[in-house]
């Protein structure tokens, strides 16, 4: 039997916060760490996991003044998501992008809301 993996984007930290046992319980998955330099468009992501509440600080040094770096990252996550992906976090990202908040403070509150401390929301 051939295993078909789904790729899960990990944002904010490396994969040490997420064990292979937990991932395999979800469905055979391959975690892809999204580093501060961006991510590879080789993968089609089936889900996204935010590994800490202030994950966005890793991807933009200017997040307090401008949301464009984070918005670009989120657009790319949606762009490179698998067509048949049923991901709660991808849905949250799409909703944010469809109706972005008016202030940076509101955007930060939404970004913090992507984090799930139990690591159960993909």
The label of the residue with tokens 């051939």 reads 2
25 pLDDT tier (thresholds 50, 70, 90): low
45: nearest Cα among 64, 31, 26: 31
Listed by start position, the domains of the chain span 6-113
Asked if 49 and 89 count as a contact pair (C-beta separation under 8 A), the reply is yes
The label of the residue with tokens 């990990």 reads 10
What pLDDT was estimated at residue 96? 97
What pLDDT was estimated at residue 44? 85
What pLDDT was estimated at residue 7? 83
For the entire predicted model, the pTM comes to: 0.83
Picking from 19-23, 85-89, 113-117, which range would have the lowest pLDDT averaged per residue? 19-23
49 pLDDT tier (thresholds 50, 70, 90): confident
């Amino acid at each position: 039997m051939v295993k078909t993996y789904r790729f899960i984007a990990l944002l904010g930290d490396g994969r040490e916060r997420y064990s292979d046992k937990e991932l395999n319980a979800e469905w055979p998955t391959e975690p892809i760490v999204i580093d501060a330099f961006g991510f590879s468009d080789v993968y089609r992501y089936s889900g996204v996991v935010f590994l800490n509440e202030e994950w966005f600080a890793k991807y933009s040094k200017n997040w307090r003044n401008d949301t464009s770096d984070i918005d670009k990252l989120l657009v790319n996550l949606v762009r490179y998501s698998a067509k048949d992906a049923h991901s709660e976090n991808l849905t949250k990202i799409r909703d944010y992008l469809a109706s972005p908040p008016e202030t940076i403070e509101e955007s930060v509150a939404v970004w913090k809301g992507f984090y799930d401390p139990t690591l159960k929301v993909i």
